[in-house]
Amino acid sequence: MLQMTGLAKVYRTEVVETYALRDFDIDVREGEFVAVTGPSGSGKTTFLTIAGLLEGATAGSYRLDGVEVGQLGDDARSRIRNEKIGFIFQAFNLIPDLNVFDNVEVPLRYRRMKADERRQRVRQALERVGLGSRERHYPAELSGGQQQRVAIARALAGSPRLLLADEPTGNLDSHMARSVMSLLEDLHREGATIVMVTHDPQLAARAQRNVHVVDGQVVDVSDPLRLAMPRAAVVA
């Protein structure tokens, strides 16, 4: 499904070279629910943006559905991102001037779907997340948990092959967080492939598998020596 091998992401200035990812290897199989954990600055978000084709890697291989996608041009990346990948962001990223229905519909318009198909997909997705009666409400009229459910519906409406969730419960209270996490678990049981970045060990424990990232590399959490490795040894 998603396979990265020897991936590197380097940010350069005139005098400084910083590795956000280095020798990064990960393999997510279809239908898995994988939690990616690690300290702040470890490279989790960089991994997610590359996985979502929002930016490219400096080196290495990224294959999605068996196709090398890491070095594709902007147009090809945009097409694959719109057709195969769904995003769930911590900040919801809803458009405040659009109602719930229109927020969910926006990505489908970019795919040039016919209006009837768009309406059907939007309403099915909203029913799936329990917000079928709120389609004419605006984001400001919803709770944080409801806004996150709209964001999930927006991702689901496109029938993505891969769901990428970046701290999906980070802005929610504990009750709303449990509700959103239960929804993600339901989606996984129905066959969705989900990669979730989280700082919360309790949420990570509910995923099918955990991947721990330290200093831009996937580490084996059973190996304390690698977890204790100083940053200079990894990034130099």
80-120: per-residue pLDDT in tens?
998 899 999 888 999 999 999 999 999 998 888 899 999 99
**Residue 38, CA distances (Å) to 42, 170, 206, 215 in order:** 6, 15, 16, 9
How many Cβ atoms are within 10 Å of 191's Cβ, its own excluded? 8
* Percent of the chain at pLDDT exceeding 70: 93
pLDDT of residue 201: 87
Q: What stretch of H or E contains 154?
A: helix 144-157
pTM of the complete model:
0.85
- Phi then psi for 171, rounded to 5 degrees? -105, 20
Query: Which regions of the chain does DSSP assign to beta strands (E)?
Result: 2-12, 17-28, 33-37, 59-64, 67-68, 85-89, 162-166, 194-197, 209-214, 217-219
The residue among 160, 158, 189, 172 whose CA lies nearest residue 33 is 189
Q: Is the pLDDT of residue 229 over 50?
A: no
Mean pLDDT (whole number) for 53-81: 91
Average pLDDT over residues 143-165: 93
Please, what is the average pLDDT of the chain? Answer: 89
* CB-based contact 103:154 (threshold 8 Å): yes
Note the pLDDT of residue 233.
Answer: 37
* Nearest CA among 221, 189, 181 for reference residue 42: 221
Alpha-carbon dihedral sign for residues 197, 201, 203, 207: positive
pLDDT at 220: 55
Instruction: Using the predicted structure, report yes or no on whether residue 232 has a pLDDT greater than 80.
Output: no
Q: Compute the radius of gyration of the chain from its Cα atoms.
A: 18
Spacing of C-alpha 196 from chain mean position: 6
The dihedral sign for the CA sequence 198, 202, 203, 207: positive
Is the distance from CB of 28 to CB of 5 less than 8 angstroms? no
Architecture of domain 2-235: 3-Layer(aba) Sandwich (3.40)
What pLDDT was estimated at residue 199? 87
Q: What is the pLDDT of residue 221?
A: 42
User: 84 or 230, which is more confident?
Assistant: 84
Q: Which pLDDT score is estimated for 139?
A: 96
Query: Is the Cα dihedral 95, 98, 99, 101 positive or negative?
Result: negative
